[in-house]
Amino acid sequence: AQSVAQPEDQVNVAEGNPLTVKCTYSVSGNPYLFWYVQYPNRGLQFLLKYITGDNLVKGSYGFEAEFNKSQTSFHLKKPSALVSDSALYFCAVGWPYAGNNRKLIWGLGTSLAVNP
Amino acid sequence: GAVVSQHPSWVICKSGTSVKIECRSLDFQATTMFWYRQFPKQSLMLMATSNEGSKATYEQGVEKDKFLINHASLTLSTLTVTSAHPEDSSFYICSAISPGTGGGGTQYFGPGTRLTVL
């Protein structure tokens, strides 16, 4: 079965330190890879995506993600965390141009807490 | 660009009544929209894929007669929770695929609707 794993339910990091939120996937073919962030009682906001090309993708709010095909991973990173980065982060994979099946496969989410 | 709105943002209703939630893409045309349900501190659960002009595709375990989806135009999809019961109380979120530029249609999400059934 195709799946996306976010192995950590929660990540705690001190403000100013680098942060990593992990994502691995098990799907066939070459999917598109996405990261979204959700603040409390809000919808999801798109952070970044990988389609092809450079393995390091830069996105919104200083976030970036590194695609590793051999490890089937797409970890989200930020060099220096802010308290305002505290939120729920979702990794997703899919084929948004795949005809009638354009849905994404979602990870369960990782709650990031950045401590002052 | 790529803004999706939802209305209402929250609704409280009595058990047995029906509630309609609207999802609109404000600055792009969306041939495909999605409806999700999210329980507190839990992940997203895809309920259905809504394609403009055709019947929605429901995920396994989602009652299509209870959660009616209509995608009548390229900018509007609606979710109607029929005969709502307390167990239907949840956070409902819609998304729409933006055609985008440079490939890779991205899902853009509405702000969500908090449904409470008394």
Q: Which helix (H) or strand (E) holds A7?
A: none
In the prediction, which pLDDT does A97 show? 66
Of A41, A97, A106, the CB nearest to B44: A106
Q: How far apart are CA A76 and CA A73, in angstroms?
A: 10
Q: Which residues in B lie closer than 8 A to residue A34 (C-beta atoms)?
A: 106-107
In the prediction, which pLDDT does A64 show? 97
Task: Tell me if A41 sits within 8 A of B93, measured CB to CB.
Answer: no
Q: In sequence order, which ranges of chain B are alpha helices (DSSP H)?
A: none
Which residue in chain A is spatially nearest to B92 when comparing CA positions?
A: A43
Q: Which residues in A lie closer than 8 A to residue B112 (C-beta atoms)?
A: 41-43
Q: How far apart are CA A23 and CA A72, in angstroms?
A: 9
- Mutation target to probe the B interface, by most B beta carbons within 10 A, among A104, A108, A111 is A104
Q: How many residues does chain B have?
A: 118
pLDDT tens readout for residues B30-70: 888 999 999 877 788 999 999 888 889 999 999 999 999 99
Please determine, for residue B17, whether its predicted confidence score (pLDDT) is greater than 90.
yes
In the prediction, which pLDDT does B102 show? 47
In the prediction, which pLDDT does B1 show? 67
Rounded mean pLDDT for each run of 10 residues along chain A, 116 residues in total: 93 98 92 92 91 92 95 97 96 76 88 96
Q: How far apart are CA B38 and CA B89, in angstroms?
A: 10
In the prediction, which pLDDT does B82 show? 97
Would you call B60 helix, strand, or coil by DSSP? coil
In the prediction, which pLDDT does B22 show? 97
In the prediction, which pLDDT does A94 show? 87
Q: Which amino acid is at B22?
A: E
Contact A100 B51 (CB under 8 A): yes
CA-to-CA separations, B79 to A84, B7, B36, B63, in angstroms, rounded: 32, 11, 10, 12
In the prediction, which pLDDT does B8 show? 97
Q: Which residues in A lie closer than 8 A to residue B4 (C-beta atoms)?
A: 43
User: What is the DSSP-derived secondary structure letter of residue A53?
Assistant: S
pLDDT tens readout for residues B80-115: 999 999 999 999 999 998 776 544 678 999 999 999
Q: Which residues in A lie closer than 8 A to residue B46 (C-beta atoms)?
A: 103, 106
Which residue in chain A is spatially nearest to B47 when comparing CA positions?
A: A103
Q: How far apart are CA B46 and CA B37, in angstroms?
A: 6
Contact A97 B106 (CB under 8 A): no
